[in-house]
Structure 1
Amino acid sequence: MTDSFGTQTGGAPRDEEHPGSGPVIRDKRRIDPETGQPRTPQTAPEPAPGQADGDAGADTGVTDAGAAGDDAHPDTALAAERLEEMRRMQAEFVNFRNRTQREREADKDRAVSSVIEALLPVMDDIHSAREHGDLGEGTPLRAIADKLEVTLERFGVRRVGEVGDVFDPTVHEALMHLPADSPGVELPEGSTEMTVVQVIQPGFVVNDKVVRAARVAVADPA
C-alpha cells in the first residue's frame, strides 16, 4: 500500500530490501554477445532419486499405455480378422478346385469305361481275328482295327494280357493253370515266376481302372 507520495506503507516488501524475491531472468542465447563464441550447453541438474524413480515410472506408464492402445486398436483387430477370413476362403477355394478336378477326371474315366464296355464284343472279335491270322498286313480289317486301338489309346485305354507277361492278379484272371512241360507251353528263358502262356480273352484298363481283367492260362517255371 502506498501513500500519496508513492511511498510503500504496507504489503509485500520491495525488491531492494529482498533482492532474491524478484523475477529471475535466464540468458538462453547460444552465442555469447560479448565474445561471439558458441556457448557450451549447460547440463540439466540430475533429479533427486525419488523424483527420478517417479518420472521413470510415469514415462514407462505412458509408453506401455500407448503400446497397449495400439495393440488393442479396433482397426488392427478388424484387419487381422479379415486376413484370417481371406486365408480361410483361399484354402476353401483351393480344396474346391482340386475336388472339382478330381471329379471331372473321374467322370471322364467313367464315360470312357462305359464306351469300352459297350465295345468289348467288338474288341474280342478283333482279338480273335488277330489270333486266327485274319489281320494280315494290307487287309482292310487290319487298318480298321489299328485305327480303333489308336483312337482308344488317346482316351487312356490300354489292352492288357500278353503271352510271356508275369502273372498279375490285379489285371489277370487265371482260368487255367498248366504244367510247364505241357504241349504247346513255352516259358520265356530264365522265368522264375508264374507266367502267362495263353491269352483267352484280353483285358482292358482305362488309366488306372480295370474295365475287364485279362482271362489267361498260366504256368509255373520248372
Structure 2
Amino acid sequence: MADKDFDDTEVPGGEDPEANASGSDPQEGQDTAGEQAERPQDEAEGDELTVDDILGAAQSAEAAAEDAVLADLETQLLNDLKRLQAEYANYRRRTEEQREVEIERAQGAVAKGLLPVLDDLDRAEKHGDLEEGSPFSAIAEKLRGVAERMGLSTYGAAGEAFDPQHHEAIFQVPTPGTTEATVLEVVEIGYRLGSVELRPAKVVVAVPAE
C-alpha cells in the first residue's frame, strides 16, 4: 500500500518528468526558427550578387568586342594607308621614268637634225678632207663636241656580232670560217641618245658559207 501511494503522487508544479527528461530547450527552438526565417533573405542576397556578376561579365564581353572591332578597323586603316603610300611611290617612280624618257625623246628630236651633218663629216674624214689644223677640221670638232655633250653616242663597228635589234643589214656576204653573223662593214653608223635609239647602224653582214 505504501508503494502504490508513492507512485500516484504528483510532482509538484505539474511538470511532466518525461518532458523534462527529453532535454528540449524552448530558447533553442526559438533560435532555430529565427535562423530559418533569415535563410531565405540570405539566399535572395546571394541571387542579387550573381545577377551583378552576370551583368558585369556581359559588359566586359561587350567592351572586349568593341575593342576587337576598333583594333580590326585600325589594322584595316593602316593597311589602306600603306597601300596608298606604295601606290603613290610607284606613281612617282613611273612619272619620273616617263619624264626622263620624254626629255630624252625631245633631245633626240633635236639631235636627229645633226645626224646628216655628222654623216657628212664622217664622209669628209674618210676622203681626207678634214686636214688637221684646217678651218673645216675645227668646225667638225666643235660640232662633234656639241653632239657629245648632248649625250649622243655612236655604235656599230666591223667585227662585232650582228644584232637585228640594233643593226640594219644592207646585204649578206657568205664568208668561209664564219660561224655566226658578224658585221663585216659599216655603211652608216648608228646613233643613240641615252637609252633612245635614234638610228640603227646600216651594215654589211658576214654569214657562214654553206
Q: Could you state the TM-score of these two structures normalised by the residue count of structure 1?
A: 0.58
Match of 1:195 among 182, 191, 198: 182
**Aligned match of 2:66:** 69
**1:158 pairs with 2:153:** yes
Q: Describe the SS at the equivalent of 1:113.
A: helix
**Aligned match of 1:170:** 165
**Aligned match of 1:109:** 104
Alpha carbons of structure 1 residues 20 and 159: separation in structure 2 relative to 1, 3 Å: same
**Aligned match of 1:124:** 119
Partner Cα separation in structure 1 for residue 174 and residue 178 of structure 2? 14
Aligned residues: percent identity? 38
Correspondence 1:179-218 to 2 at 5 A: 179-180=174-175, 192-218=179-205
**Aligned match of 1:87:** 82
Which structure dedicates a bigger proportion of its chain to helix?
A: 2
Quote how far apart the aligned CAs of 1:21 are.
6.1
Contact 1:167/1:195 (8 A) holds in 2: yes
Correspondence 1:2-151 to 2 at 5 A: 18=31, 58=54, 63-73=60-70, 76=71, 79-80=74-75, 82-151=77-146
Quote how far apart the aligned CAs of 1:138 are.
4.3
Quote how far apart the aligned CAs of 1:61 are.
5.2
Gaps of 5+ in 1: 1-12, 23-50, 182-189
Max radius of gyration: which structure?
2
Partner Cα separation in structure 1 for residue 110 and residue 137 of structure 2? 21
Alpha carbons of structure 1 residues 179 and 141: separation in structure 2 relative to 1, 3 Å: farther
Q: Could you state the TM-score of these two structures normalised by the residue count of structure 2?
A: 0.61
Cα RMSD for the two superposed structures:
3.8
Contact 1:175/1:216 (8 A) holds in 2: yes
